[in-house]
Chains A and B, each alone.
Chain A
């Protein structure tokens, strides 16, 4: 039933969630259609989880990335501080090895001084320097790699030899043999010191070299760590952005779809459907919308169907109404033609056209005439009512004077009232300006009301009063007659109804007069009502505009 529409593209969608054509939107559109992000958006939309869960997952992912980033940074920092500690140690070792070198130089210096001064006490200074040399060397030895230990071992062995030589020199000096001491020094002391100096120089160079290579490797490692952290941060930012893009567009697209769908529906495309890949709240929403669309479409169809039926029915009624008025026209003519003959011949007879009427025939002829006129009134009433009901009754609006209308009614009914011995009064103020309406029909209304009043009033009076209230005219016909029971007041204006069917037998009449009067008053755009009390009399009042509008409501 609902026409299946192609899924509208994002840019075909109109208002509400207005995508506009900004740069941001064009970029988003490009990414959605030309990059794998589009497929990812579709995939996320299809994940059967609530929006809440999806958003939570996305945020957790981003938080996780930040945690990882933090951990990586901390690791890098701790590694760098370890490197700097290693460098410090290497520095210290270089310093120590230089101190060893210095202590050695001092030993040689003091040995030379002792020989020169031939002073035994200077030997003590040599020993002190020797102690410093040994303790510093021990420090280096403690944290030295194995290949260095060999070198240190050799330095220590050479130093021991040097000490032995120093001791011998000291003994010779004490024994007062400076020449021999000098000889010993030149023979074994110097070469020994030179050897130790060479070894210590090696040690210094080795330590310096180690420090240098350590520094290089640390610098390399630090640079690598920085690059790694930077790359990770960059990737994380891109990942977070992509995640945000995917999540937000997996929500924006269905909202736009819904916007387009709703605007289509608001334009009257009730069969429109919405298609979103989402299996979350938006998916449920789209399902509801589609169901609503189907229901609306059905409703629309039903309504169109009903409208078509109504139109057809209306045409039928129109045709029936036309047929009815044609029937009325011909019926009116057909009924009046024989009535014309009956009443015409009766009048001719009574007027003596065919010679003098024998006395006994006069009354029956008069009766024929009276009943003929009565029949004619009935025919007129029935035809008028039919015309009103066929919607063919039109008022012929003219200027009229209220006293003229009331005067006509008084003239027509005066003799009838007199026959019954009723008081028949007219009260029309002098200051009523010329009125506008269907004078003939208003006369007919007043004749009906006053005629009824006279008919249903055994004794007392009948009064016709006219009152002007602003731009309204109030016609009031009151009597002191039998009145209308409360439970029957509603029926008095109904067709073919008299308050009591026994009344019809007693008073005659068709019961069409009041119904017609009500309809004529309503054709004038006015209203009619009655106040009555059984045994006290009735008052019929109708109000119409002083000057009725040309197009009075039918």
Chain B
């Protein structure tokens, strides 16, 4: 059984690096996208096992990206973790309504993130 693929959509290089370093010691294969549009395109092309999406992204927001992926039958089943900023209350609700499987508020603990990833897409 091949390694699970995780797509991380995040525009900040440092935050991408945290996830990259966090997953370096695991069996997950990580692919990355820096904006919402390319994230959706990558997801459709690569069919990852799990998607981590920041809520605020250039070109297309994390919520819109989640909706787009849920609307496509090819990607509708992929679990999505939305990373919110808790700017205004109701972010969590918006994430759920858009179709997120789980959400984490920034700043998140890498340890908690890994737990959520392992729960939604257990390592092979």
Contacts and interface: CB of A to CB of B under 8 A. Distances in A.
Interface of A: 325, 328-333, 336-345, 347-348, 351, 353-354, 376, 383, 387, 392-396
B88 A329 contact: yes
Given A341-B14, A351-B110, A336 B85 contact: yes
Contact of B15 (A337, A347, A351, A392): A337
B27 interface: no
14 contacts: A329-B87, A329-B88, A330-B56, A332-B85, A332-B87, A333-B56, A336-B106, A337-B15, A339-B106, A340-B107, A343-B109, A344-B109, A344-B110, A353-B110
Contacts of A394: 88-90
Interface in B88-119: 88-90, 93, 106-111
Contacts of A343: 107, 109
Contact of B90 (A332, A341, A396): A396
Given A348-B21, A393-B89, 12 more contacts: A333-B85, A333-B87, A333-B106, A336-B107, A343-B109, A344-B18, A344-B108, A345-B14, A351-B110, A376-B107, A387-B89, A394-B90
User: Which 10 residue pairs are nearest across A and B when measured between Cβ atoms?
Assistant: A332-B87, A340-B107, A341-B14, A329-B87, A344-B18, A333-B85, A336-B106, A339-B107, A343-B107, A340-B106
A345 B18 contact: yes
A344 B83 CA distance: 14
Contacts of A330: 56, 87
B26 to A, nearest CB: 11
Contacts of B88: 325, 328-329, 332, 387, 392, 394
Report which residue of A332, A342, A351, A383 has the largest number of chain B beta carbons within 10 angstroms of its beta carbon. Answer: A332
Nearest to B19: A344
B21 A353 contact: yes
A347 B109 CA distance: 7
Given A336-B85, A387-B88, A396-B89, A348 B18 contact: yes
Given A332-B87, A340-B106, A354 B12 contact: no
Query: Which secondary structure dominates where chain B touches chain A?
Result: loop
Contacts of B93: 396
A331 B12 CA distance: 15
A519 to B, nearest CB: 13
B84 to A, nearest CB: 9
Nearest to A354: B21
A337 to B, nearest CB: 5
A552 B22 CA distance: 43
Nearest to A339: B107
A348 B107 CA distance: 13
Interface in B25-69: 25, 55-56
A325 B91 CA distance: 14
Contacts of A337: 12, 15, 85, 106
A340 B87 contact: no
A348 B106 contact: no
Nearest to A394: B89
B58 to A, nearest CB: 12
A383 B106 CA distance: 14
A76 B2 CA distance: 146
A259 to B, nearest CB: 59
A325 B87 CA distance: 9
Contacts of B85: 329, 332-333, 336-337
Nearest to A347: B110
A250 B29 CA distance: 105
Nearest to B105: A336
Contacts of A328: 87-88
A225 B78 CA distance: 128
Nearest to A345: B18
A393 B90 CA distance: 10
Contacts of B15: 337, 340-341, 344
A72 B25 CA distance: 139
A351 B109 CA distance: 11
A331 B86 CA distance: 11
A331 B88 CA distance: 11
